[in-house]
Chains A and B, each alone.
Chain A
């Protein structure tokens, strides 16, 4: 059985879906962050798969940048979470509803 790109893409889709469902269901901000990382990984997988199939290295450099940006995002996000936890020691994102109109 040959591993075609379709397999990779399916895997990427599944991973993304899991990450997305997790993001929508969980209320703990840290877990939500982890789900975001899952989604980013799914996209990385599909990038590299395409890079492999199309014989083009731009896919891999894109992954490189996605990685860096994900890291930066985690830094900021976690510092925000730390600040949130200073106010109350148990935070669910549903408490941050001050922008409700």
Chain B
């Protein structure tokens, strides 16, 4: 079964190639179905590989499928291989699963778009790159996938690039990711110089030989890369702007898959994280915490239905970072999975609303949509309950795991982290409730008659079926890792990938229950509060602009780099032009000058050539005579 693992990235790649060549000819909707089928094949292959891996005993579940020898240069040798282990298979499962559902959804959503087939070309390429990222057995293949998803993200965000704002949103995403990629590359170089190899199994084996300082440096650089991809402080500014892309893109890339790749990278490199200094891993958690809080405050004040979800994604990714930083890898993966389900569900639901409202995205112009769009409303509500942390939906279980780890991480100020996590959970419930109320309940804030009449309607089956499937998953995903005895399926499954770096908690059951109850209480309070503000209109709403601008972080970047930051750019550009280009041109100039200075030798006169011959003969003969007789 495991031999099929090459099919997992190969299938969407094949779909990509086919659609590039034939996409336009196939047209709508065949191109969409082709892409969906290739993605589905990948999902089936993943399921087979999953069962194949499950059939192996636990010790052997770290399996490398070597495809071919890619680079072999001196001491640096890299194989193109796939690492099939529980972590990568888990990621592949939800990437291909959610990906296929979103492909299906897009056939309905992108109906009538002029560039229908191009969209699916990009989608398939994205899935292929993401699978490469996840399945690669060394840092270079992961980087290949990393860059691939970054490029696809750019292509897909600026899909409707005729509008300049969309194009610059794509650019912003790409450039911000590049900053992270710089960290990735330097960290890879450091890994190579430390242990001579960039394969994950070598890293796992040799991690203990790396000095603490180097390991800390490597980890911090990888964290930089992860903050770029997973939209954390300070590189989160691209994610809200990325909502300019079509909603399926937001669902797939910016909720379920690409943004989790940063967290995935950190989990994959857990041996290195174990070697780094404690303050470094603690910093990961604090970065996550601050980001989660800031993003949650921002989400409270947004009026665009997608921007709320965007900031919500940033906030939830902050939770993942918090978990990774304190060693709760299983909790992070658990929350990653549940978040993939309910966030994709929420985004697709938002897309359905937008589709039904004829591309209206401002929530203030919605309201009372639930009777008009029943399926969308119902599934959206399930997603809402999941993300708000209401049991028994999946979000509660995963978020609770993370909060538990935070509570126990006293070495890095865990209690404070727990408080921040709790406050963020409150805000999460608050703004999600706000969103649901503003969109689906209350009075209708749009015109139903007259010239600008809007007639919201339910979306076609192609769009609602994925919603229903995802809502089902959002309900039951909690069963993956219940805190009850013998139900830690996920923890047991993932363990071979973690090399024992997982922090095991010994909290007494009573503490667990109390913490859980506190979280539930906080969540319900927030829901009630939001209801009283937005439904019952008992209090005035408080939506400060400062929060809405995400504490002006983005605009201060713009002001800095447009202003004083320019000097740095100009200096670097000067350096590049004068020194580096000068060196290169200088080489050319040297040869030109040398040629010119030798030119007078070519006099054209036969006699001077004869003279040169004679002088040369003299020199050679003289040298021989000298050598022989002295």
Verify B604–A93 contact, CB threshold 8 A.
no
Verify B604–A97 contact, CB threshold 8 A.
yes
Verify A101–B607 contact, CB threshold 8 A.
no
Q: How far is the CB of A65 from chain B (nearest CB, A)?
A: 22
Among A4-12, A20-28, A51-59, A68-76, the stretch that binds chain B is A20-28
- The answer to the question of B614 belonging to the interface, with a C-beta cut-off of 8 Å to chain A, is yes
Verify A100–B610 contact, CB threshold 8 A.
no
Q: How far is the CB of B596 from chain A (nearest CB, A)?
A: 10
Give the size category of B's interface with A. 10 to 19
Instruction: Known A20-B614, A24-B614; judge A99-B607 contact (CB<8 A).
Output: no
Verify A94–B605 contact, CB threshold 8 A.
yes
Verify B605–A101 contact, CB threshold 8 A.
no
Q: Which residue of the partner chain, among B604, B607, B614, contacts A100 with CB atoms under 8 Å?
A: B604
- The answer to the question of A2 belonging to the interface, with a C-beta cut-off of 8 Å to chain B, is no
Instruction: Known A20-B614, A24-B614; judge A94-B602 contact (CB<8 A).
Output: no
Q: How far is the CB of A99 from chain B (nearest CB, A)?
A: 5
Docked pose: A97 CA to B603 CA in angstroms: 7
* B606 contact set on A, CB distance < 8 A: 93, 96
Q: Which residue of the partner chain, among B599, B607, B611, contacts A27 with CB atoms under 8 Å?
A: B607
Docked pose: A20 CA to B612 CA in angstroms: 12
Docked pose: A93 CA to B607 CA in angstroms: 8
Provide the A86-101 mask, 1 if CB < 8 A to any CB of B, else 0: 0000000110111111
Verify A100–B602 contact, CB threshold 8 A.
yes
Docked pose: A24 CA to B614 CA in angstroms: 9
Interface residues of A in 1-54 (CB under 8 A from B): 20, 23-25, 27
Q: Which residue of B lies closest to A96 (CB)?
A: B606
Q: Which residue of B lies closest to A97 (CB)?
A: B604
Q: Which residue of the partner chain, among A24, A96, A97, A99, contacts B610 with CB atoms under 8 Å?
A: A24
Verify B611–A93 contact, CB threshold 8 A.
no
Interface residues of B in 579-617 (CB under 8 A from A): 599, 602-607, 610-611, 614
Q: Which residue of the partner chain, among B599, B604, B611, contacts A99 with CB atoms under 8 Å?
A: B604
Docked pose: A98 CA to B605 CA in angstroms: 9
Majority secondary structure of chain B interface residues (helix, strand, loop or mixed): helix
Verify B607–A94 contact, CB threshold 8 A.
yes
Docked pose: A56 CA to B495 CA in angstroms: 93
Provide the B606-630 mask, 1 if CB < 8 A to any CB of A, else 0: 1100110010000000000000000
* A20 contact set on B, CB distance < 8 A: 614
Q: Which residue of B lies closest to A93 (CB)?
A: B606
Verify A99–B614 contact, CB threshold 8 A.
no
Q: Which residue of B lies closest to A23 (CB)?
A: B610
* A99 contact set on B, CB distance < 8 A: 602, 604
* A101 contact set on B, CB distance < 8 A: 599, 602, 604
Verify B614–A93 contact, CB threshold 8 A.
no
Q: Which residue of A lies closest to B608 (CB)?
A: A24
Q: How far is the CB of B26 from chain A (nearest CB, A)?
A: 63
Docked pose: A24 CA to B605 CA in angstroms: 11
Q: How far is the CB of B594 from chain A (nearest CB, A)?
A: 14
Q: How far is the CB of B140 from chain A (nearest CB, A)?
A: 50
Docked pose: A101 CA to B606 CA in angstroms: 13
Q: Which residue of the partner chain, among B599, B604, B607, contacts A98 with CB atoms under 8 Å?
A: B604
* A100 contact set on B, CB distance < 8 A: 602-605
Q: Which residue of A lies closest to B614 (CB)?
A: A20
Q: How far is the CB of A25 from chain B (nearest CB, A)?
A: 8
Q: How far is the CB of A28 from chain B (nearest CB, A)?
A: 11
Interface centre among A24, A25, A27 (most CB of B within 10 A): A24
Q: How far is the CB of B615 from chain A (nearest CB, A)?
A: 10
* B614 contact set on A, CB distance < 8 A: 20, 24
Provide the B477-489 mask, 1 if CB < 8 A to any CB of A, else 0: 0000000000000
Q: Which residue of B lies closest to A21 (CB)?
A: B614
Docked pose: A20 CA to B614 CA in angstroms: 8
Q: How far is the CB of A55 from chain B (nearest CB, A)?
A: 25
Q: Which residue of A lies closest to B600 (CB)?
A: A101
Docked pose: A94 CA to B611 CA in angstroms: 14
Verify B604–A24 contact, CB threshold 8 A.
no
* A25 contact set on B, CB distance < 8 A: 607
Verify A93–B599 contact, CB threshold 8 A.
no
Docked pose: A94 CA to B603 CA in angstroms: 10
Docked pose: A3 CA to B574 CA in angstroms: 80
Docked pose: A20 CA to B611 CA in angstroms: 9
Provide the B295-335 mask, 1 if CB < 8 A to any CB of A, else 0: 00000000000000000000000000000000000000000
* B607 contact set on A, CB distance < 8 A: 23-25, 27, 93-94
Docked pose: A96 CA to B605 CA in angstroms: 7
* B603 contact set on A, CB distance < 8 A: 97, 100
Docked pose: A31 CA to B296 CA in angstroms: 102
Docked pose: A101 CA to B605 CA in angstroms: 11
* A94 contact set on B, CB distance < 8 A: 605, 607
* A23 contact set on B, CB distance < 8 A: 607, 610
Q: How far is the CB of B601 from chain A (nearest CB, A)?
A: 8
Q: How far is the CB of B605 from chain A (nearest CB, A)?
A: 6
Verify A93–B602 contact, CB threshold 8 A.
no
Q: How far is the CB of B595 from chain A (nearest CB, A)?
A: 9
Q: How far is the CB of A10 from chain B (nearest CB, A)?
A: 16
Q: How far is the CB of A61 from chain B (nearest CB, A)?
A: 26
Q: How far is the CB of A91 from chain B (nearest CB, A)?
A: 12
Docked pose: A32 CA to B602 CA in angstroms: 21
* A98 contact set on B, CB distance < 8 A: 604
Q: How far is the CB of A14 from chain B (nearest CB, A)?
A: 16
* A24 contact set on B, CB distance < 8 A: 607, 610-611, 614
Q: How far is the CB of B514 from chain A (nearest CB, A)?
A: 94
Q: Which residue of B lies closest to A94 (CB)?
A: B605
Docked pose: A25 CA to B605 CA in angstroms: 12
Docked pose: A23 CA to B602 CA in angstroms: 19
Q: Which residue of A lies closest to B601 (CB)?
A: A101
* B599 contact set on A, CB distance < 8 A: 101
Q: Which residue of A lies closest to B611 (CB)?
A: A24
* B602 contact set on A, CB distance < 8 A: 99-101
Docked pose: A101 CA to B596 CA in angstroms: 10
Docked pose: A24 CA to B606 CA in angstroms: 9
Q: List 5 additional A-B contacts (Cβ < 8 Å) besides A27-B607, A100-B603.
A: A23-B610, A24-B607, A93-B606, A94-B605, A100-B605
A-B contact pairs, 8 of them (CB 8 A): A23-B610, A24-B610, A24-B611, A25-B607, A93-B606, A96-B606, A100-B602, A101-B599
Which residue numbers of B lie inside 8 Å of A, CB to CB?
A: 599, 602-607, 610-611, 614
Ordered nearest first, which 7 A-B pairs have the shortest CB separation?
A100-B604, A97-B604, A101-B602, A93-B606, A99-B604, A24-B610, A24-B611
